[in-house]
């Protein structure tokens, strides 16, 4: 898993798809992090096999090795396992009861679930 700082950087990289160090720094709001900070995060993320790079001249063009959907899917599975006794039903119940979703939003979620059920038939 990624740290909070790594997740923030990864979100910028997912959004850009490919980016140089300067582009990633530019994506942050003021005050911008130091280049050394971002470089260290990128190195750790590369060691964890979340990002890689290709050399373009003297610069490195970074790109994600893991999709946002895949990362958050695994994160969600871990959350369900650790906090909801590995029960998607307990998670869904908590999610529906504790959220501030409108009736229309809940109906939209139900429709998505119904669509998934129909595809599994």
- Cβ neighbours of residue 25 closer than 8 Å, sequence gap 6 or more: 32, 33, 35, 38
**For position 121, what pLDDT does the model report?**
77
Number of H helices, E strands in the chain: 6, 3
- Cβ neighbours of residue 32 closer than 8 Å, sequence gap 6 or more: 25, 26
Per-residue pLDDT of the chain (121 residues; tens, 9 = 90+): 899 999 999 999 999 999 999 999 999 999 999 999 999 999 999 999 999 999 999 999 999 999 999 999 988 888 889 988 988 888 888 877 888 888 898 889 889 888 888 888 7
Cα distances (angstroms) measured from residue 83 to each of 35, 50, 101: 37, 25, 21
Q: How far apart are CA 119 and CA 121, in angstroms?
A: 6
């Amino acid at each position: 898993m990624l740290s909070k700082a790594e997740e923030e950087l990864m979100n910028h990289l997912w959004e850009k798809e490919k980016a140089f160090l300067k582009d990633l720094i530019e994506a942050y709001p003021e005050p911008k992090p130091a280049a050394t900070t971002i470089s260290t995060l990128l190195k750790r993320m590369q060691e964890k096999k979340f990002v890689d790079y290709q050399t373009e001249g003297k610069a490195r063009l970074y790109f994600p090795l893991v999709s946002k959907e895949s990362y958050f899917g695994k994160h969600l599975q871990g959350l369900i396992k650790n906090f909801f006794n590995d029960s998607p039903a307990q998670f869904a119940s908590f999610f529906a009861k504790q959220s501030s979703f409108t009736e229309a939003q809940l109906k939209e979620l139900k429709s998505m679930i119904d669509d998934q059920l129909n595809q599994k038939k």
